[in-house]
Amino acid sequence: MTVSSTTLRSGPYAGNGSSVSVPYAFRVLASSHLKVLCTVGVTSSTVDPGKYTVSGVDAANGGAVTFGVAPPAGTQITILRNVPFTQDLDLENQGAFSAESIERALDLGAMRDLQILEVVSGNGDGGGSGSSGNTIGDIIGFRLARFSALGRRRR
């Protein structure tokens, strides 16, 4: 399958205390590749993955996040693609060649590129990278912090 859409966020959806399912319209390779944000007023927090289930994993048009308890009225739910900044494909010299494994790794790379593009273009935080703390925003901030206001590299 390919990554044929640049969409990497769905929502925000208004919580109403009764609807437990919200859709997302982009492909993810694992349920852990989603980040669900709950916003009340101007404060956003990441929803614990134990509080929802994900359908539509590896589906081109996405799926849905279903909560155990409906988000209350006054909340906004946003779903982001949140792929890790790792490369897990390991090919052995003169070993079997799996085109599907190569394509999956390339798809994951394209998804990461879209997260970076979102941050660089100023449209968001790029979804982050899970619990490692190495979000693309952190990475860019670290790189920029290494230079002074005059453009000289700090040590």
Instruction: Tell me the DSSP string of 89-116.
Output: --PPTTS---HHHHHHHHHHHHHHHHHH
pLDDT over threshold 50, residue 51: yes
Instruction: Output the CA–CA distances (angstroms, integers) from residue 42 to 17, 31, 32, 37, 51, in the order listed.
Output: 19, 26, 25, 12, 22
What's the whole-number mean pLDDT along residues 24-52? 93
Rounded (5°) CA angle 130-80-133: 20
What digits encode the pLDDT tens for the residues 87-97? 888 888 888 88
What's the whole-number mean pLDDT along residues 71-95? 89
Residue of higher predicted confidence among 114 and 152: 114
pLDDT over threshold 50, residue 4: yes
Give the least confident one: 11-25, 36-50, 86-100. 86-100
- When mean pLDDT is compared over 65-69, 81-85, 143-147, the highest value belongs to 65-69
pLDDT over threshold 70, residue 144: no
pLDDT over threshold 80, residue 140: no
Report field, pTM of the whole predicted structure over 0.85: no
Tokens 């390919």 correspond to 2
What's the whole-number mean pLDDT along residues 20-44? 93
pLDDT over threshold 80, residue 23: yes
How far apart CA 11 and CA 23 sit, in angstroms, is 8
